[in-house]
Structure 1
Amino acid sequence: MSTPLRSIHVMAAVITDPRGRILLARRTEGRDLAGRWEFPGGKREPGESPEEALVRELREELGIEADIGAAVINVPQQYPDKRLRLDVRHLAGWTGTPRGHEGQALAWVALDKLTRYAMPPADRPVVAALLHPDIYLVTPEPGEDAEWLASLQRALDAGIRRVQVRARSVGGERWQALAGQAVQRCRKAGADVLLNGDIELARELGVGVHLRSAQLTALAQRPMPEGQWVAASCHTAEDLQRAEDLGCDFAVLGSVHPTESHPGAPPLGWPGFAGLRERVSLPMYAIGGLSPADIRQAREHGAQGVAAIRSLWPA
């Protein structure tokens, strides 16, 4: 029998200065993943509350007294020798001047530059949670095109900023025209837009593509250049690993709860979602019977947010 991996609960902080920059610390030589950048913090010790652990770690590591704020995300991540849970909090404030008291280099980084810094796997979903939307709208099958486009516009007007244009019952010239109009509306609203499955049309329109799970095994490499979103629908650990190997920017994993669109399919539940989440470092959305009311629970299990059709589509 294999020895169970040790479990570690790590607390980390998003520390933001008045200019909106975020503090990163570089892992010192002799540690795992030396040289990579991470959000400051450290291991929770027995008997400590999460908040007490983070206050202590920031005092020892940076020499500041911290006021712990709201939760950001709780990322389960499996490494070869351990299972880690990275519990990340905002700081409501602090006193003192952050300095590397353990010999670590520090850097104040603009929010849009965070992705340039090489980080441990568990920190990648944290960056996505800070940078990108926590809601991902998947469009339903169109009935009448004008009515469908009007509903999409209402969703954008309500604040949706990431959209998967999915209309698998529509093809040919109608699909090209509908997708083109949807892309125009999303761009005008400043929303990320990805086309479901249609790599060629996505290339033609200069937008992202959302890969179906069946496409993952057929592709030998990332189908879009950097700067054009590539996402994937995943249901298994193999799907997630393939999506990560292809260089996908994020995944959608489910179903978390039973859904009408997948009758009879066994749901993952939140424990099952977290168990698959820890296998890869991909940012991901949870899907399956979810709504914006589930975002907090999704983030407690390592999701960036929720993806949905019915609960996000205006009536």
Structure 2
Amino acid sequence: MSAENRDSAAAGAAVPPVVEVAAAVILENLASAPGGQRFMLAQRPAGKVFAGYWEFPGGKVEAGETARQALDRELNEELGISVTAATPWLCREFVYPHATVRLHFFRVTAWAGEIRPIEHSGFAWLTPGEPSPVSPILPANGPILRALELPTRCFITHAEANGADAELARLARALAAYAIPLTPLTPAADSPAAASPNERRLLIQVRDKSLPAAERQRFAAAVVALARRYAHVIVLINDDVELARTVAADGVHLPAARLALSEAHPDLAWVGASCHNADELARAATLGCDFVMLGPVLPTPSHPEQGGIGWEGFARLAATSALPVFALGGMRPELAATATAHGAHGIALLRGWP
């Protein structure tokens, strides 16, 4: 249970039994939407607790059901659709005055039938990161709106091995293919044609901690300047809050050792953390991080002798996370679907940028 949820219960009061709930984040790819994607909220009808509030549709997991079975049943009853593609995403607890709920969120990306508000007053499509056209939104769903702003691709810089200039050129090609320019750009001769992925957002982590300080600062500043030419691109600096502030990056990424020593959430817009086990995942949630990277999942070129936690181990840990989880270690673009099927928000790549 997160700190803010624990604080919402009166001190010393008995905590009601936990109600297991399956919730659907219904996603639709749409070229005209900023970032290429939109999601749906439904309005609770009159006569129910929190009537008039907007929420991610779903409902209680009944006896003998799995969360996925409950999701399929509830969306059929509430919206008249049959889910054909859904993957586990986040698990969050929230204390309401009337109940404590454990919400198992699924990303629903395909369905059969036309969405109808059978058991809701209405529904609305929203764009991640854009002002909501509907209110009020159910309190437990607030953190989910934040998580939806997070890209599912993370590219980690490797200027230590490739050289700063070569790495900036590689990043320029990636941005041209996977992000939306704020103004029309003239592509470089060696730039690939835009890949036109469903999602046109990108997370960049500036790593390269062994570079001399002045060189790392120059490189980080150049990365930020390049990223600012595009929409929906988030730049984080690895393990250096002051450098992040100096180069006007969007946030910082905390290695596991730094996460263990951190006593407060860094005063930056975005904060990620590297984790390897359940304790570190819980620590990141308590600190109020926005996401985590979990791994290594598979063997990596730098540590081929280490087998990694494997996909099943990753799935077990990700299923308990209240934060979006990136799969890290041995990742390649073609593993994105495998990662999401095992509960990943997305994948983080050091060498295997497409």
Place the TM-score, normalised by the shorter chain, in its bin: 0.7 to 0.9
Identify the residue that residue 58 of structure 1 maps to in structure 2.
75
2:261 alignment partner in structure 1: 218
The one-character-per-residue Cα deviations of 1:273-294 (angstroms, maximum 9, x if unpaired) are 1222233311110111111211
Q: CA deviation at 1:108?
A: 2.7
Equivalent positions of 1:1-315 (< 5 A) are 10=22, 12=24, 14=26, 22-26=40-44, 38-42=55-59, 56-61=73-78, 64-71=79-86, 73-75=87-89, 77=91, 86-90=105-109, 92=111, 94-95=113-114, 97-99=116-118, 101=119, 108=124, 110-111=126-127, 112-113=130-131, 117-118=137-138, 120=140, 128=147, 130-140=148-158, 141-159=160-178, 161-190=202-231, 191-207=233-249, 208-225=251-268, 228-312=269-353
Corresponding residue SS for 2:228 = helix
In structure 2, do the counterparts of structure 1 residues 52 and 176 end up closer, same or farther at CA, with 3 Å as the change threshold?
closer
- Which amino acid is 1:90 matched to? T
Find the residue that maps to 2:229 and give its secondary structure: helix
Aligned alpha-carbon RMSD (Å): 4.1
Does the C-alpha gap of structure 1 residues 167 and 244 become closer, same or farther in structure 2, counting only changes over 3 Å? same
What number of residue pairs does the alignment pair up? 298
What is the rounded CA distance, in whole Å, between the counterparts of 1:167 and 1:302 in structure 2? 28
Matched letter for residue 223 of structure 2: A
Per mean C-alpha deviation after superposition, the further-off stretch among 83-92 and 135-144 is 83-92
What is the identity, as a one-letter code, of the residue corresponding to 1:110?
A: L
* Structure 2 residue runs without a partner (length 5+): 1-17, 95-99, 180-201
3-state SS of paired residue (2:285)? helix
Whole-Å Cα distance in 1 between the matches of residues 217 and 256 of structure 2? 22
AA at the equivalent of 1:167: D
CA distance in 2, matches of 1:286, 1:90: 20
Shift of 1:11: 6.5
Unpaired runs of 5+ residues, structure 1, are 1-5
Tell me the SS of whatever aligns to 1:162.
Answer: strand
Contact 2:89 2:324 in 1 (8 A): no
How far is 1:309 from its partner?
0.8
Distance 1:181 1:68, change over 3 A: same
Once the two structures are superposed, what CA deviation does each residue of 1:189-239 show, in whole Å capped at 9, x if it has no partner? 3321111111101012222111111111222211124xx211111112222
Give the whole-Å Cα distance in 2 for the aligned partners of 1:266 and 1:235: 13
> Sequence identity of aligned pairs in percent?
35
Report the residue type matching 1:216 in the other structure.
L
Residue identity in the other structure for 1:40: P
Closer, same or farther in 2 for the Cα pair 1:11/1:242, shift >3 Å?
closer
Q: Is the 8 A contact 2:89 2:345 kept in 1?
A: no
Cα deviation code 1:294-313 (max 9, x no counterpart) = 1112112221110011111x
Deviation at 1:105, TM superposition (A): 6.4
Q: Any idea what the Cα deviations from partners look like across 1:70-99, whole Å, max 9, x if unmatched?
A: 43x313638699987544423556447415
TM normalised by structure 2 equals 0.68
Looking at structure 1, the residues matched to 77 and 162 of structure 2 have their Cα atoms a distance apart, in angstroms, of 60
SS at match of 1:260: coil
| Deviation (angstroms), 1:24 | 3.1
Deviations 1:113-148 (A, max 9, x none): 579945548x956873x5432210011124432222
Q: Quick one: which amino acid aligns to residue 168 of structure 1?
A: K
CA distances 1:34-87 after superposition (whole Å, capped 9, x unpaired): 9986421346779999998656533533xx43254543x313638699987544
Letter in structure 1 aligned against 2:151: P
Equivalent AA in structure 1 for residue 222 of structure 2: Q
The verdict on how the C-alpha distance between 1:168 and 1:36 changes in structure 2, with shifts beyond 3 A counting, is farther
Residue pair 1:257, 1:269 contacting (<8 A) in 2 also: yes
Q: Separation in 2 of the partners of 1:302 and 1:118?
A: 24
